[in-house]
Amino acid sequence: MAPDATHAEQPIDSDDLEIAYIGGGSRQWAPNLIQDLALSEFDGHVRLYDTNQDAAETNAEFGNWVQDDPDATAEWSYEAVDDLDDALDGADAVILSTQYDPRDTFVHDLRIPKEYGIYGAVGATIGPGGIFRAMRTIPVFRRFAAAIRENCPDAWVFNYTNPVHFVTRALYDEYPDINALGLCHEVLGTRWHLAMLAEEELGMDAERADVEVNVKGINHFTWVDEARCKGVDLWPLLHELKDGERGSKRFTYDDLKDDSVFSDNWQVTWELFRRFGVLPAAGDRHLIEYATSFIADGQDSLNHWGVRRTDADYRAKHWTPAESKQTTNVEGWMEGEREFELESSGEEFLDILEGLTGDGPYVTNVNLPNSGQISDIEQGPVVETNAVVRDNQVKPVNAGGFPRPVRSMVQGHVDTIETIIEAARTGDVDLAFQGFSIDDQVQTLTPDESRDLFGELFAAETEFLDDWNTDDSEVLAKADTFDA
């Protein structure tokens, strides 16, 4: 069956775009977007909405400040608004980029599972931490979807919020006709890496845009079974490299202690390629949370495969611009304390927008409900494949299926995601625990341990889980770690 296209009833007016940015106080994505828009061929207006109004106002000030840069090619204006409906009213495009303060949430997602022997490297999209992030976020995104339905039903919605597969699915679960795309740069990183291999091993002059892949999977657990660079088949090269020195490196903690937590040594990637014959297309730090045998021995396993763990202390500091390399200190730029150079982020938002407004077709990876683009996964769950973007339409590409062992791994995570989505419709805590229980990381625990881990995480984050019905929960009543 051919996959269905996502399309809006009303075309976008490329001369005067109205963008609603939900999570407009963002410390990374919003400053990147502002610079991309300033260098674009579009003009328009951005309304920034955030529960942290001060942060949204700072980004609005920064956006208007960037417009005075001599390298700016477009005309944009920015304002911070304090009402969600006002932000969304009549928007052509909606950007979703939100998270709770990690000092109150994310640090628990990392610290508490570690006490039970679970050493997830990221804790943001799957595993006990990722599931609780989803449980915090899904109800909020259902409200966003309902507000979009009321205020801008034909808008194109770009979701960057993790866990991408959970929350993009929640948008469609609330509003099936929404035009929402889940976006992630992990596949882009794989294409960049393949371009680098083509340069180093084949002597080609290559960039990310020169690499074409057939990608399929779920976000952060995507797979490639075809790869070409400027028409050259890269598959023979990959098979050669996987068994050579490049594909067989091993590490210790001391080898990695000075590396960034985002360094990617591709050793998990090569091992999975050797095992299953298809190439993973996400960073190793994400892959190990889905293929959990790589973290069976905790910290030593992570380091052995060249992965550094993102710990709770890092996530807490990430929220503070002065202490984080990821968080952007826009005040420092505006006050002249840091040199500012207007530059592109390398993200694909504008490329997609150009395709939607008629400058296409454009092909890239997106997360959409499965309508046949992956042949051996049920229809409905959000999957990640390539899609063709053209005038007011996004059509996923038929990507085929998986080798049986890979399909089994992917399907298990789909079952976890779908169970949590179903539980969130009514706030059913016990059904959510069922989804939590079948997660690969959680299944390393005894039944009592998994129940107590669930209860301890719930207790630590109760204030962010108001939409869940704790009064009728049997699992929380039995958990020694949860005190109602």
Q: Which of 163, 169, 245, 234 is closest to 202 using CA atoms?
A: 234
Gap between the Cα atoms of 288 and 283, Å rounded = 9
Q: Which of 7, 108, 165, 185 is catalytic?
A: 185
CB 141 within 8 A of CB 160: no
What are 360's two structure tokens? 């296409």
DSSP assignment of 279-317 equals: EE-S-HHHHHHHSGGGGTTTHHHHHHTT-----HHHHHH
Total residues found in the chain within this entry? 484
Gap between the Cα atoms of 148 and 154, Å rounded = 8
Q: Is 7 tagged catalytic?
A: no
Burial class, 244, CB count within 10 angstroms (exposed 0-12 / middle 13-18 / buried 19+): exposed
Note the Cα 401 to chain centre separation in Å. Answer: 22
Specify the residue for token string 């998990």. 268
DSSP 2: P
Q: Tell which phi-psi region holds residue 344, choosing left (phi > 0), alpha (psi between -120 and 50) or beta.
A: beta
Give just the sign of the alpha carbon dihedral 334, 336, 342, 347.
Answer: negative
447-460 and 127-151 helices cross at what angle (nearest 10)? 50
Q: Which of 310, 248, 242, 243 is closest to 280 using CA atoms?
A: 242
Gap between the Cα atoms of 318 and 324, Å rounded = 5
Q: Which of 429, 443, 459 is closest to 117 using CA atoms?
A: 443
Q: What are all long-range contacts of 412-417, with beta carbons under 8 Å and residues at least 24 apart?
A: 412/438, 412/440, 413/126, 413/218, 413/221, 413/290, 413/439, 413/440, 414/218, 414/377, 414/378, 414/381, 416/126, 416/131, 417/134, 417/165, 417/166, 417/169, 417/218, 417/381, 417/382
CB 251 within 8 A of CB 304: yes
- What is the set of active-site residues? 185
